[in-house]
C-alpha cells in the first residue's frame, strides 16, 4: 500500500470484505481484497526465518537461541541479529517476522525458555528492543510475543494463571513495556493462556488498559496460531487479526450474527480493520516473492561470534581451559557424548531447516588439526523417539509400498463407508501432524512390506494424533487406547512413547499396517481436529541395548583430557512440552557418564547445550564447564573457538542455576493443579520474587543463596582478569528515556590479565529497607559489555531510570519511588557485589503506568 488513505479504503469495503480481513487466508498469509488490500506473508521465528514449510522447506540461517543472545548481554549484537533476521525474512518472501519471544524464565522446566531471554525483565526488554529495532530498520515487521504470561507449555491453550497486578507490571509485562516504548514493534502476538480468568486474546486489562491505554501503542494485535477463543469478545477487546486461516472464529455470518445480537458492533469491526490497514501501509508494498536460500558469509560470521560470546565459562579448575594447539600437542583427547550432534536450536516453531550445522567434533578436528589425537565415543542413549521407519532408514531394513516403490502407501478412508477415498505414496517423515486437505476428515491407513536387516526382538514405538493401531502380518501388536493425550507434543515430536518389541527374522517379509482415525474434541488447538497424524519408530535391538557408557569410560581412561558434550536435542527441549526432568535426558544416562568418566580422568570438561538450567550432580568432580546454549548453525565452531582460546569467553548467565529444582522460586506452583472442571490453574505465589530476586531474600543474602545455587545470575568466568575502579552515581541533568528521569553511572574498568576479552558491567539497585514495601533487595538497572586488550582501561558510562528504584503500587495504579535511601551496586554477578554507592531520594516520586 504505502501512504494510502486508510479511511478511503475502509469506506470502500463491504462489511463481508472487512470481516474477511480480520483473519488469515491460510497458514501464513493474510487475506487480500483484489485491487484494494494486499496480502502479507508472515514467517516464524526467533531463531531464523523458516518460510512456509513447517517441517523442512527452503534452507535458512539458524541463529543462536534467545537465551544464548541474552548471555552476551550485548545490545549491539542483538541489533545486528535483528538486521540479519530481517534479511532472512525478505529471502523467505515474508514481511512479518513472528519474533522475538520475551516471556520470563519463571521456572527451569519451562519448555520454551530457550526461545526467551532471561529471568530478568530488564535484560529481556533491552535485548528484545534492540532485535526489534534491527528487524524493523529493514522494513520488516517484528511481532513481539506472547502477550502475556506464557511461562509454561503444560496445557498452554487453556491454563489459567492467577497473577497479581504488581507482579504483572514489575516482571511479566515489563519486557513488553520496555520494547513497546523503546522500539515500537509493529505487531504484538497474544498468548494462548488465560490471565486472571480471561484468555489473552480477549483480555481487556492486557489489550485495552495496558497495551493500548497505558502504553499508548498503536500497532497490530494478532493471535497465536489457533489462539482465538471467541468471536465478539476478541473483536471488542482489540484482537485485530485471527491466525491462521481459514478462520474458525470470524466467519462473516458469525460476526454479522454477533453484530445483530448486540454482542459487538460495526464500529468495533471497523477499528480492527483500520489496524490491519495501517499495518499493511507501514509495510508499503508487501509482495510475496518466491522463497530463496541465501547463505551469506557475513551472517555465518555473525552467528559464530554471537554464539561464542554467549557461551558462559562456569568452571575452570587449574586452568584446564583453553585447550590451545600448543597445550594439547601430542596429547590424547577423548571426545564423548553429543559431540557429533549439532545442538543448534530447540524444537517447535523456533526450529529451522538450517543451511548447515557444524558439530563440535568437526569443529575441533578443524581447530586442532593434527596437534592432538582425538577419539570419539557416543557414550549414552538420549533419543526421545525411535527413528522413523521409512525408505531412508535403510540400516534397519527396507520398506516397500503396495506400488512396489520404496516407502509407504497412504490410504485415505471415508469414515462413513470405510471405502478408500484416495491413495498416495510417501510417509517418509516421522509424522503427518497436520495431514493434508486430501485427508481432512478421513481415516488413514499406512501400509508397507518391511524386510529387516537383522534378526531379533526389535523395538518399535507408535503414536497417533487420533487413534493408533499397528498390525504386523494381520496381528494387532499395538493399540494406543484412544487419541493422543498431548496433541502439541505429538506435533513437535516431544512425546515419550511406549516402546514395544516384535520378533523379526532377517530377510523375511512382514506386512505392516498402521491405522488411525482423525482426532476430535481437541481443546485449544481446534485446527488439528479432523486431521489424522501418525508416526512409527523403529530401532534394532542390538543398537537399542548397546552399553555405550563402558566404551566411553575406557576411551577416557587412556586420554589426557575428556571432553563430554551434553544437552537437549529439539525433542527434549521444545515448544509444546515442559521439561521432563531437571536432570539431563535420558534416564540419567548423561549424568552417569560424567560421574563414571570423572573417576578415571582428572581433566574432564563438560560442554552443555541447553536453553535452561539443569541439574549438575557431578559439578564437584569435573575440572571445566561451559554452558553453550543452542548456538545456531555455527554452534560447533563457536564452542571450539571458546575451548581452544581463539575466543576468550565473555558470556554471563541470564538465569540462575539452582542445585535442586525444589529451590526454584516457583517450585510447588508449576505447572499448577486441575480444578473441578478439569482446567489447569496455576497461581504465581512467588509474586515479584523471580530468579535472583528470590535468592536475594533468603536469610543471610549471598551466603545462603550460594548454598542453593550452582551458579548465580550474571556469573561468568574469563581467560583474563578485570578490575573495577570507583563507582559514581549522580542525577542526570536531562533524560531522553521514555521512563522519565535518570541517573548517570560511571565506572572505570581495566583488563589486568594477559589476553584480550570482554567483561560485563552489571549494575543493580534497591532500597536500603526492602522490607518496607516488600521489594526485592536489588534488581538489574543498567548493563554494558566492554571489550579490552591487556592493560587497557576504559571509563564506562551508563544510565539508569529513577523509576527502576521503585515498585508498582496497586492502590495508586502508579509506579512509586518512596522517599529514602537507595544503594547502587556493581557486581561480578548478582551474588558478588564489588562496589556500592548510596543515593538519597528526598521526596516520594510517582510515575504513570
Tell me which residues are annotated as active site: 224
Query: Does residue 771 have a cis peptide bond before it, meaning omega lies within 30 degrees of 0?
Result: no
Q: DSSP characters for 289-339?
A: PPP-----HHHHHHHHHHHHHH-EEEEEGGG-----HHHHTT-EEEEEEST
Residues 6+ apart with CB under 8 A from 765: 778, 779, 781, 800, 804, 805, 822, 823, 824, 825
User: d(Cα 130, Cα 540) in Å, to the nearest integer?
Assistant: 49
User: d(Cα 417, Cα 77) in Å, to the nearest integer?
Assistant: 60
CA 138 to each of CA 22, 195, 218, 274, 447: distance values in angstroms, whole numbers, following the listed order: 26, 34, 20, 24, 49
User: d(Cα 335, Cα 338) in Å, to the nearest integer?
Assistant: 9
- The closest alpha carbon to 782, from 820, 824, 748, 732, belongs to 824
Q: How far, rounded to the nearest angstrom, does the alpha carbon of residue 210 sit from its chain's CA centroid?
A: 25
Cell of 477: 501388536
- Residue 526: left if φ>0, alpha if ψ -120 to 50, beta else—which one? alpha
3-state SS of 114-154?
Answer: HHCCCCCHHHHHHHHHHHHHHHHCCCCEEEEEEECCCCCCC
* Residue 794 phi, psi dihedral angles, 5° rounding: -150, 135
CB 65 within 8 A of CB 119: no
User: d(Cα 364, Cα 642) in Å, to the nearest integer?
Assistant: 11
Length of the chain: 849
CB 839 within 8 A of CB 743: yes
Q: 151-187: b or e for each residue (b if 16 or more CB lie within 10 Å)?
A: bbbbbbbbbbbbbbbebbbbbbbbbbbbbbbbbbbbb
213: DSSP letter? I
User: d(Cα 483, Cα 124) in Å, to the nearest integer?
Assistant: 38
**Lookup result for grid cell 532485535:** 131
Element spanning 366, H or E: helix 360-368
3-state SS of 87-113?
Answer: HHHHHCCCCEECCCECCCCCCCCCCCH
- The closest alpha carbon to 307, from 497, 130, 77, belongs to 77
* Residue 580 phi, psi dihedral angles, 5° rounding: -70, -25
Element spanning 815, H or E: strand 814-817
β-sheet bridge partners, residue 709: 658
Q: DSSP characters for 554-596?
A: HHHHT-SEEEEEEE--TTTSBTTB--S-SSPTTTTHHHHHHHH
742-751/793-801 β-pairing: antiparallel
Amino acid at each position: 500500500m504505502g501512504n494510502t488513505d486508510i479511511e478511503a479504503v475502509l469506506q470502500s469495503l463491504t462489511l463481508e470484505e472487512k470481516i474477511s480481513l480480520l483473519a488469515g487466508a491460510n497458514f501464513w498469509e493474510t487475506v487480500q481484497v483484489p485491487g484494494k488490500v494486499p496480502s502479507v506473508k508472515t514467517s516464524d521465528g526467533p531463531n531464523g526465518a523458516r518460510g512456509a514449510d513447517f517441517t523442512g522447506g527452503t534452507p535458512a540461517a539458524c541463529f543462536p537461541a534467545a537465551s544464548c543472545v541474552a548471555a552476551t548481554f550485548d545490545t549491539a549484537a542483538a541489533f545486528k541479529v535483528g538486521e540479519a533476521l530481517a534479511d532472512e525474512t525478505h529471502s523467505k518472501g515474508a514481511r512479518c517476522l513472528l519474533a522475538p519471544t520475551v516471556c520470563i524464565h519463571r521456572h527451569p522446566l519451562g519448555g520454551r525458555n530457550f526461545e526467551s531471554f532471561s529471568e530478568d525483565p530488564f535484560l529481556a526488554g533491552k535485548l528484545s528492543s534492540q532485535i526489534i529495532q534491527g528487524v524493523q530498520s529493514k522494513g520488516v515487521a517484528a511481532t513481539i510475543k506472547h502477550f502475556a504470561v506464557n511461562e509454561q507449555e503444560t496445557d498452554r491453550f487453556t491454563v489459567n494463571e492467577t497473577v497479581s497486578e504488581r507482579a504483572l507490571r514489575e516482571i511479566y509485562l515489563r519486557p513488553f513495556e520496555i520494547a513497546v516504548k523503546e522500539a515500537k514493534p509493529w505487531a504484538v502476538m497474544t498468548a494462548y493462556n488465560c490471565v486472571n480468568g480471561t484468555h489473552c486474546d480477549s483480555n481487556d486489562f492486557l489489550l485495552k488498559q495496558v497495551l493500548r491505554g497505558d502504553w499508548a501503542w498503536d500497532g497490530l494485535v494478532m493471535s497465536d496460531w489457533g489462539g482465538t477463543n471467541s468471536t465478539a469478545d476478541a473483536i471488542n477487546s482489540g484482537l485485530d487479526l485471527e491466525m491462521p486461516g481459514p478462520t474458525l472464529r470470524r466467519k462473516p455470518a458469525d460476526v454479522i450474527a454477533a453484530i445483530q445480537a448486540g454482542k459487538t458492533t460495526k464500529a468495533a469491526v471497523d477499528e480492527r480493520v483500520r489496524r490491519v490497514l495501517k499495518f499493511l501501509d507501514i509495510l508499503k508494498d508487501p509482495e510475496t516473492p518466491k522463497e530463496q536460500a541465501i547463505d551469506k558469509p557475513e551472517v555465518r560470521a555473525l552467528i559464530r561470534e554471537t554464539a561464542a560470546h554467549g557461551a558462559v565459562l562456569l568452571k575452570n579448575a587449574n586452568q584446564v581451559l583453553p585447550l590451545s594447539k600448543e597445550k594439547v600437542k601430542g596429547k590424547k583427547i577423548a571426545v564423548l557424548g553429543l559431540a557429533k550432534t549439532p545442538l543448534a536450536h530447540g524444537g517447535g516453531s523456533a526450529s529451522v531447516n538450517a543451511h548447515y550445522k557444524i558439530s563440535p567434533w568437526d569443529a575441533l578436528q578443524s581447530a586442532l588439526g593434527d596437534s592432538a589425537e582425538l577419539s570419539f565415543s557416543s557414550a549414552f542413549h538420549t533419543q526421545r523417539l525411535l527413528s522413523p521407519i521409512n525408505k531412508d532408514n535403510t540400516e534397519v531394513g527396507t520398506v516397500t509400498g503396495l506400488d512396489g516403490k520404496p516407502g509407504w502407501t497412504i490410504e485415505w478412508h471415508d469414515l462413513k463407508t470405510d471405502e478408500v477415498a484416495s491413495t498416495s505414496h510417501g510417509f517418509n517423515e516421522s509424522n503427518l501432524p497436520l495431514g493434508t486437505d486430501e485427508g481432512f476428515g478421513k481415516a488413514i491407513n499406512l501400509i508397507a512390506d518391511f524386510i529387516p536387516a537383522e534378526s531379533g526382538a526389535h523395538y518399535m514405538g507408535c503414536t497417533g494424533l487420533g487413534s493408533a493401531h499397528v498390525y504386523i502380518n494381520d496381528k494387532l501388536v499395538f493399540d494406543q487406547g484412544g487419541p493422543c493425550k498431548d496433541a502439541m507434543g505429538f506435533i513437535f515430536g516431544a512425546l515419550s512413547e511406549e516402546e514395544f518389541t516384535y520378533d523379526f527374522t532377517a530377510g523375511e517379509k512382514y506386512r505392516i499396517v498402521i491405522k488411525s482415525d482423525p482426532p476430535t474434541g481437541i481443546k485449544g488447538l481446534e485446527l488439528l481436529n479432523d486431521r489424522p497424524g501418525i508416526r512409527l519408530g523403529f530401532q534394532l535391538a542390538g543398537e537399542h541395548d548397546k552399553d555405550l557408557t563402558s566404551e566411553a569410560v575406557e576411551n577416557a581412561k587412556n586420554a589426557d583430557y575428556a571432553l563430554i558434550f551434553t544437552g537437549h536435542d529439539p525433542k527434549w527441549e521444545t515448544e509444546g512440552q515442559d521439561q521432563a526432568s531437571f536432570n539431563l535426558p535420558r534416564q540419567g544416562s548423561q549424568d552417569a557418564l560424567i560421574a563414571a568418566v570423572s573417576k578415571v580422568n582428572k581433566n574432564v570438561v563438560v560442554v552443555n547445550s541447553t536453553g535452561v538450567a539443569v541439574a549438575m550432580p557431578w559439578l564437584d568432580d569435573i575440572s571445566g564447564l561451559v554452558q553453550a546454549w543452542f548456538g545456531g548453525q555455527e554452534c560447533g565452531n563457536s564452542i571450539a573457538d571458546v575451548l581452544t582460546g581463539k575466543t576468550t569467553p565473555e558470556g554471563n548467565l541470564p538465569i540462575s542455576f539452582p542445585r535442586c529444582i525444589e529451590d526454584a522460586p516457583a517450585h510447588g506452583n508449576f505447572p499448577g493443579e486441575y480444578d473441578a472442571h478439569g482446567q489447569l490453574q496455576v497461581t504465581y505465589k512467588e509474586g515479584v520474587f523471580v530468579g535472583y530476586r528470590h535468592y536475594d531474600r533468603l536469610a543471610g543474602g549471598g551466603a545462603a543463596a550460594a548454598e542453593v545455587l550452582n551458579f548465580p545470575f550474571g556469573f561468568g568466568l574469563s581467560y583474563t582478569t578485570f578490575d573495577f575502579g570507583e563507582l559514581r552515581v549522580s542525577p542526570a541533568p536531562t533524560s531522553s528515556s521514555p521512563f522519565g528521569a535518570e541517573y548517570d553511572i560511571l565506572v572505570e574498568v581495566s583488563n589486568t590479565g594477559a589476553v584480550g576479552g570482554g567483561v560485563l558491567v552489571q549494575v543493580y539497585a534497591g532500597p536500603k529497607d526492602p522490607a518496607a514495601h516488600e521489594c526485592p533487595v536489588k534488581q538489574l538497572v543498567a548493563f554494558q559489555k566492554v571489550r579490552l586488550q591487556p592493560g587497557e582501561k576504559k571509563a564506562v558510562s551508563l544510565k539508569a531510570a529513577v523509576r527502576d528504584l521503585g515498585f508498582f503500587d496497586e492502590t495508586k495504579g502508579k509506579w512509586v519511588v518512596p522517599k529514602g535511601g537507595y544503594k547502587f551496586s556493581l557486581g561480578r554477578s548478582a551474588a558478588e557485589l564489588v562496589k556500592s554507592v548510596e543515593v538519597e531520594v528526598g521526596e516520594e516520586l510517582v510515575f504513570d503506568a
